[in-house]
Structure 1
Amino acid sequence: MFRKSIKISITGRVQGVGFRPFVYSLAIKYQLTGIVQNNLDGVLILAEGEELPLSQMVAELKEKRPRLAIIRSITVEKQSLKGYTQFSILQSDDKGGTIPWMPTDTAICDNCLLEMSDPTNRRYQYAFTNCTQCGPRYTIISKLPYDRTMTTMNSFKMCKQCQKEYDDPMNRRHHAQPICCSDCGPTISLSDDTGNEIASDYVAITKTQALIKQGKLITIKGVGGFHLTCDAHQKDAISRLREMKKRPQRPLAVMVKSIDVAKKICLISKKEEAILKSPEMPIVILQKRKDCPLPNNLSPHLSTLGVMLPYTPLHHLLFDHLNLEFLVMTSANPSGLPIYFKDEELPLLQNLSDYTLYHNRPIEHPIDDSVVQCDGEGVSFIRRARGYTPDPLLTKANVDQIIALGGNQKNTFAIGKPNHIVMSGHIGDLDSEEMVGFYKKQQNHFKNYLCFQEKYAAIDKHPEYETTLIGNELKGRIISVQHHHAHHVSCMADNGLEEPCLGIILDGTGYGEDGHIWGFEWLYGNASSFERLAHLRYSPLPGADKAVREPWRNAIGMILHYWPEEGVDLATQLFPERVEEVHIIKNMIDKKVNTPLAGTCGRLFDAVSAILGICLESTYEGEAAIQLSDFMNRTNKDEQKIYPYTIQLIENGLFQLDVSPMIYEIIQDHLHQLEPEKIIATFHETIISACVKMLLTFIKRRPTLNRNVILSGGSFQNLYLARQIKSRLKKEGFSVYTHKKVPCNDGGLSLGQLLIASQTINKPKTLD
């Protein structure tokens, strides 16, 4: 029969996922000869055989793929015959020019779990069991392409049995780069708070279990860093962990033994269960059951709990025996400092806990756990990290040689390559010298990975952001981007939108083009430009950032601004213990001393939270607003009443939302002791009503505006707000889009910055 030859080029997440063995098995199945090879672009296949089997192989490549593979493109070209006599898997080639995909870390698969639980298997109870479908990837890679010699596993020489599996194209561990067993792989040890080893291997695990049951705090080295853990049943242990971590109120995540155990503490939908059990296994924010047996100090004042399943072999072993079902699992670092991941940081970890469960597989790149919530239709990211990054995002924009530095809170950065954007995982808040240093190191890692040197750098317009200072240190041309424009474009990109559209940006804080603090915005535009259509009426923030940390200041400032005469009396009634501060703040406002003007959704929620006595001082970002919003998870949602507000045309077609009538009514309802749940429900309905009515006002005046609407900004982590605004806008004939692949908060900011910078750079030059 007549033989043909084809060249197949495949891009996407096709390295570190068993793709070459998959191709090899297809070649054997269809009796083809040729080669398959990794390179920096993806996977290259040269296949020879009869026309029908070749076509069948290509069809199966498109229709079926390894569990973890993501195929972005498959191109097939005819080639001249080379006369291959067999099909072979070649060593990786370090050449290529498009975008190198870095494989993501993946939860242990069912096959490996079965081996670990089988006493006759040589990997029985082995804490580093993995295969091509699971295990560490990004966190152990030192250089691409993804081969054993380019990972931190290079120092562990494979035993004969592992080498045999690694070399066998029909074995599921063929070219599984982290492959190992108890004879040749990493080991575990348990040490006390002085660093003395007290147990090793499986004995170390059983000893750790016993110590956890005794209420001890344990530092555990994981895939992407060190975790701090304790028994989630023990209130005192949790309180001590909070004290050591300097995290008094912020919710703590819980790792549970199984999905059935998770259902003992939380209500779980089918969609949420699928996310929990996915290969990424993120932390999922779930609604607590009313009879949840765990202590309230896991997530103080909240009806939700962050839950994840065990995603490493070590995690599963910790839940064996001794009836352990729930473990607090949080990053082992004091709040405000980077995640610890280096072995030389062990002395610092000993100050945080009683014991350390350590392994000797080095971590090349740290990464946090991802955090998501289910909005009923899909996944909404709060933190995009392990399991999801650094998968690149496709783009039509010319973003090559552009870096976007993100914001100061929930930071991520983004790097542009031809037709792709690579976003970092969650970095955190750049509020300390240590965090800034960590940020710079992560940025350098990505630049080395991607062979990247910036020609342009996109930064936030805030002159005092750390990212602004860092940007000024770079060699490229600096492009300043307005904060909420970046949010707007980030959501557009997340939904593949390019034409100008409407946007509602509900956010905490962003530097405005008029020098004031923006954060409750109605915009129209795209990456090329934007128009500010409306905003929340400004009010002073007494003490600036201090008012963000102490919402009672924000509330008093708002009250005194709205009602200069009556406001003093109202403020002292609401905050009788702050009488002296009320007069100090009034003096600050009158003299305009350290009282920047702000109109933000986050600060509005903070003020209402403080007025109602829910949260007067925030111990973590957004605490006051989060606690206020949480009431919508546990109150009657049939409330249709709204508070009064006004929409005013103030200048040059710009509208303003004035909620002072609403604030006055809220104060009166609170002073007359109306139930907080009713006030909060009405407050939410008012915000929803105002958002919709404002858009209808624009459309009435300017009917030619595109009726596509994006919703972005950190306040849209409030799922009730997001769902209701989306639903009601749809009823009015708008098409509404929310975030899908990146967070609505500042974690998605760098994506928008990058695309706006691209448009700025590539705008056609006009003749003077």
Structure 2
Amino acid sequence: MPNGFLPYEKRRFVVTGQVQGVGFRPFVYRIAVERGLAGFVKNTPEGVVIEITGPAVDAASFGHALRTEIPPLARIVSLDEEAQEVKPPDAPTEGGFQILKSDQGEGHAVLISPDTATCADCLAEMADPNDRRYLYPFTNCTNCGPRYTITRSIPYDRATTSMACFPLCEECAAEYENPLDRRFHAQPNACPVCGPRVWLQEADGMPVCQGQDALREVARRLAAGTIAAIKGLGGFHLACDATNESAVQLLRERKHRPHKPLAVMVPDIEAAAAYVFIDESAARLLTGPVRPIALLPRASGPAGGKALAASIATDTDLVGVMLPYTPLHHVLFRYLREAGGGSHPALVMTSGNLSDEPIALGNREALSRLADIADCFLLHDRDILIRTDDSVVMPLTPDDALGMPKDAAEPGPPLIYFRRARGYTPSPVDIQNLDDRTDGVPTVLGVGPELKNTICLTKGSQAFLSQHIGDLENLETMGFFREIITHLAAILQVSPAIVVHDLHPNFLATRWAVEESGLPAHGLQHHVAHIHAVLAEHRFRGAALGLALDGTGLGEDGTLWGGEALFVDTEALTHERVAHFSPILLPGGDAAVKEPWRIAQSMLHALGITEPGNRPWPWLDTFGPMSRMLPQMLDKKINAPITTSCGRLFDGVAAMLGLANTASYEGQAAIRLEGAQDMAETVAYPCAVSGDGNLDTLALFAEAHQDWEAGVSAGVISRRFHLGLIRGLADWAAHHTGRLGLEHVALSGGVFQNRTLALALPKALADRGLIPLVHGFVPPNDGCIALGQAAWGRLLLVKNG
């Protein structure tokens, strides 16, 4: 042949990312066969390896399709392509194209897919009376279904999942082995003949019925006001009719959850629109593949139908709504409509636990822990290996995404995360700057804080943040913490070199890191970890000003921080507290968090106000005797630690306005304060930077108190407070960035779950010529701390070589 021209090309591809259990190999097979290419595809420890041989034009077309036509659940992190020498035996017809058996081994470079909502194809089969999967509650394919919650180890094959104990029937096996079938190597593949089964039993263990009869009967009971425990994807839900006030109140009483909002599941987007206001971003989120709990404004309810029970959410006009994400949910709502649930049935679907405990996982565990709450149990025999709560998010419009990482809106709308769990984990956060060459850095483990705990493991340039674990305040949650560290390290096949923990010596996570982990342990201050988390999301290198605003975290000076301006340099790996909110005393310590009136009286005391003026303080009727003792505690500083907390400032203003003398869950007072705003008000209270560079938040409180004394409405005061704090924070940031020669301002902390602050402050910073950096992949609350710890630890290892 002239000029040594070869008719064929041979290419080798190595693909890493979320490419197992998502139909990636069948996709590769299809695009290779369509082009008449020879070769193979297989899972290996280094990723999915592909070799093709064929005409140059077809090989090029294959490479383009490989990058642009991937399955909906696949996510490519890296794709390396290498031309190889073509030898005479190589030809398009030489053995055709094959899918080879997975290679075992250590150090794999693939990602486990998160659990994904039932796809349209599976729903169509379930709705067809002639289909063998008609109304089967465990229908799935490579485009949907359980993944993370049923996976023991990698490679993701059926033998390493909880489906190993369900041998495939002849028809399912044929689907599983056919490369052109939608269920090729769908590890949870099943049908009524060979798959998991469902049954209903009473709380005392007495069996009721099974199969479709069980789903039909539990639907009838829910419509009649019963409370049911329902085994789901990542654990149990406690369910009742969300339009039945008596049932909702009874569930609250039994669950010991008096006020915290409850999540609601509805059958479809039309039903959701009857109960909450839905814009384009919310619709995309609700109907997408994740199906998290979305916080949306409450609507009045369907015309001529029932409204949601008032006690679903008493402190806010936002309702947490989600659509069905498993086949079992879809079948349940079908029967609920038949049982008299109306055209828009709605169920409370809250975590199956007592308050502060992990979600129940197995059948025996649920029957033991939930028997005093649920009247009946809908169970199944597919084991859940990894407990995972529902994710909770607030969708934003693209215009509200100012300061988020550029790719944070993919594949859905931009979000404020409140809880990152099912559907999002274990997807990693890419934390490596493109200029870095540090893939060889050893693994770091961040063990998180006490509240809203998560853990985080780094692997190369990626950080794997666990699902929400909870508050490490009991043995059950601590057991979950240990379980997730072990499991995540095992499926990632990594061994941490160091562990990073909070400075608080009494946190259970800190004690585990120092006393049990056996690893070199490094402490990082809570709020510095917050800022490192948001900087890691942006892959930011250099110096920035961080505003860390939350409840409390132990500071480096032994006081309780929470309203902090921090200088953080990721290259020099240094940080400095440059300023803070006005310090106040926290009378009673933790008791003040549960009784915000103490904070209000402490702030009044700091202003020299020791007795009520024109109006009696709102808490005197209930806490009068204790209120009279407080001045002595404050004067002598008895059990009254110093704090600069932003969250406590919100608590104090809310209590001053009579909105919350007590709080039954974290953030309750602040939620009520935000919800009380009169949005027609435009006046902002002054909130100035003091001579020492601190933010004079005590003067801000004084303005609110003065208006309250004058009889101004709580709605007007709340709005003026919010506007004043936003303006004050922006001026504060401008003051210190100007002084330090910085332009980036990183925002983190639980206060940024306040929508008003989260949306307005980045814009106020931009108006002052600053560049805001906000969270886009993880929560701003303490759920991000482990990411910040792990990112800082990784930088520490890089710095130390």
TM-score, length of structure 1 as denominator length = 0.96
Give the CA deviation at 1:120. 0.6
Give 1:226-265 correspondences, 5 Å limit. 226-265=236-275
Give 1:582-731 correspondences, 5 Å limit. 582-632=627-677, 635-636=678-679, 638-650=680-692, 655-702=693-740, 705-731=741-767
Superposed CA offset, 1:33-82 (max 9, x none): 11111123321111111111111001001111000111111111123447
Say which of 541, 544, 553 aligns to 1:501. Answer: 544
Superposed CA offset, 1:232-273 (max 9, x none): 110010011111111110000000110011001111110111
Report the Cα distance in structure 1 between the residues aligned to 2:635 and 2:612, rounded to whole angstroms: 13
Report the Cα distance in structure 2 between the residues aligned to 1:31 and 1:423, rounded to whole angstroms: 42
Give the CA deviation at 1:516. 1.0
Contact in 2 for aligned 1:571/1:582 (Cα 8 Å): no
SS in 2 for 1:666: helix
Give 1:156-167 correspondences, 5 Å limit. 156-167=166-177
Report the Cα distance in structure 2 between the residues aligned to 1:455 and 1:608, rounded to whole angstroms: 45
Report the Cα distance in structure 1 between the residues aligned to 2:47 and 2:351, rounded to whole angstroms: 33
Structure 2 letter corresponding to 1:521: E
Report the Cα distance in structure 1 between the residues aligned to 2:35 and 2:380, rounded to whole angstroms: 44
Give 1:428-507 correspondences, 5 Å limit. 428-472=470-514, 473-507=516-550
Partner of 1:330: 350
- Cα distance change, pair 469–569 in 1 and its aligned pair in 2 (3 A): farther
Please give the root-mean-square deviation of Cα atoms over the aligned residues, in Å: 1.7
Task: Tell me how many residue pairs correspond in the alignment.
Answer: 755
Report the Cα distance in structure 2 between the residues aligned to 1:763 and 1:496, rounded to whole angstroms: 16
Say which of 199, 219, 223 aligns to 1:213. Answer: 223
Partner of 2:406: none
Report the Cα distance in structure 1 between the residues aligned to 2:159 and 2:735, rounded to whole angstroms: 62
Give the CA deviation at 1:699. 4.1
Give the CA deviation at 1:711. 1.4
SS in 2 for 1:683: helix
Partner of 2:579: 534
Contact in 2 for aligned 1:572/1:579 (Cα 8 Å): no
Say which of 315, 325, 329 aligns to 1:301. Answer: 315
- Cα distance change, pair 46–326 in 1 and its aligned pair in 2 (3 A): same
Contact in 2 for aligned 1:489/1:526 (Cα 8 Å): no
Report the Cα distance in structure 1 between the residues aligned to 2:40 and 2:632, rounded to whole angstroms: 78
Structure 2 letter corresponding to 1:306: G
Structure 1 letter corresponding to 2:155: P
Give the CA deviation at 1:642. 2.1
Give the CA deviation at 1:698. 2.3
Contact in 1 for aligned 2:203/2:376 (Cα 8 Å): yes
Give the CA deviation at 1:98. 4.9
Say which of 434, 446, 449 aligns to 1:404. Answer: 446
SS in 1 for 2:694: strand
TM-score, length of structure 2 as denominator length = 0.92
Partner of 1:371: 392
Between 40-49 and 576-585, report the one with greater CA deviation: 576-585
Partner of 1:54: 59
Structure 1 letter corresponding to 2:720: T
Partner of 2:462: 420
- Cα distance change, pair 567–712 in 1 and its aligned pair in 2 (3 A): farther
Give the CA deviation at 1:431. 1.3
SS in 2 for 1:154: coil
Partner of 2:421: 385
Give the CA deviation at 1:86. 1.4
Contact in 2 for aligned 1:568/1:582 (Cα 8 Å): no
- Cα distance change, pair 35–701 in 1 and its aligned pair in 2 (3 A): closer
Check if 1:34 corresponds to 2:54: no
Q: Identity of counterpart residues, as a percentage?
A: 37
SS in 2 for 1:347: helix
Superposed CA offset, 1:478-501 (max 9, x none): 111011111111111112211211
Contact in 2 for aligned 1:231/1:327 (Cα 8 Å): yes
Check if 1:316 corresponds to 2:330: yes
Check if 1:349 corresponds to 2:370: yes
Between 749-758 and 210-219, report the one with greater CA deviation: 749-758
Superposed CA offset, 1:101-144 (max 9, x none): 12210000000000000001010010000000000011111121
Give the CA deviation at 1:756. 1.4
Check if 1:754 corresponds to 2:793: no
SS in 2 for 1:656: coil
Structure 2 letter corresponding to 1:369: D
SS in 2 for 1:155: coil
Contact in 1 for aligned 2:136/2:192 (Cα 8 Å): yes
Give the CA deviation at 1:718. 0.8
Report the Cα distance in structure 2 between the residues aligned to 1:87 and 1:665, rounded to whole angstroms: 75
Partner of 2:596: 551
Report the Cα distance in structure 2 between the residues aligned to 1:258 and 1:323, rounded to whole angstroms: 17
Between 429-438 and 659-668, report the one with greater CA deviation: 659-668
Say which of 575, 600, 604 aligns to 2:619. Answer: 575
Structure 2 letter corresponding to 1:517: L
Give the CA deviation at 1:288. 0.8
Give the CA deviation at 1:323. 4.5
Partner of 2:411: none
SS in 1 for 2:118: coil
Report the Cα distance in structure 1 between the residues aligned to 2:301 and 2:119, rounded to whole angstroms: 32
Report the Cα distance in structure 2 between the residues aligned to 1:133 and 1:551, rounded to whole angstroms: 48
Give the CA deviation at 1:276. 0.9
Give the CA deviation at 1:738. 1.2
Partner of 1:515: 558
SS in 2 for 1:711: strand
Contact in 1 for aligned 2:536/2:788 (Cα 8 Å): yes
Between 288-297 and 385-394, report the one with greater CA deviation: 288-297
Superposed CA offset, 1:163-220 (max 9, x none): 0011111110011000010000000100011111111000111111100011000000
Between 638-647 and 263-272, report the one with greater CA deviation: 638-647
Structure 1 letter corresponding to 2:751: S
Give the CA deviation at 1:569. 5.8
Partner of 2:283: 273
- Cα distance change, pair 699–361 in 1 and its aligned pair in 2 (3 A): closer
Check if 1:69 corresponds to 2:74: yes
Say which of 367, 380, 399 aligns to 1:359. Answer: 380
Between 667-676 and 99-108, report the one with greater CA deviation: 667-676
Between 537-546 and 75-84, report the one with greater CA deviation: 75-84
Contact in 2 for aligned 1:99/1:417 (Cα 8 Å): no
Report the Cα distance in structure 1 between the residues aligned to 2:393 and 2:55, rounded to whole angstroms: 48
Structure 1 letter corresponding to 2:536: A
Gaps of 5+ in 2: 1-5, 399-413
Say which of 145, 150, 163 aligns to 1:153. Answer: 163
Structure 1 segments, 4+ long, off by >6 Å, are: none
- Cα distance change, pair 502–699 in 1 and its aligned pair in 2 (3 A): closer
Between 719-728 and 346-355, report the one with greater CA deviation: 346-355
Give the CA deviation at 1:388. 0.7
Contact in 1 for aligned 2:47/2:108 (Cα 8 Å): no
Report the Cα distance in structure 1 between the residues aligned to 2:289 and 2:682, rounded to whole angstroms: 41
Contact in 2 for aligned 1:455/1:475 (Cα 8 Å): no
Structure 2 letter corresponding to 1:53: D
Report the Cα distance in structure 2 between the residues aligned to 1:762 and 1:570, rounded to whole angstroms: 61
Contact in 2 for aligned 1:99/1:420 (Cα 8 Å): no
Structure 1 letter corresponding to 2:709: L
Report the Cα distance in structure 1 between the residues aligned to 2:614 and 2:737, rounded to whole angstroms: 38
- Cα distance change, pair 219–559 in 1 and its aligned pair in 2 (3 A): same
Partner of 2:405: none
Check if 1:199 corresponds to 2:219: no
Report the Cα distance in structure 2 between the residues aligned to 1:429 and 1:229, rounded to whole angstroms: 23
Give the CA deviation at 1:380. 1.5
SS in 2 for 1:619: coil
Report the Cα distance in structure 1 between the residues aligned to 2:462 and 2:697, rounded to whole angstroms: 42
Report the Cα distance in structure 2 between the residues aligned to 1:242 and 1:570, rounded to whole angstroms: 38
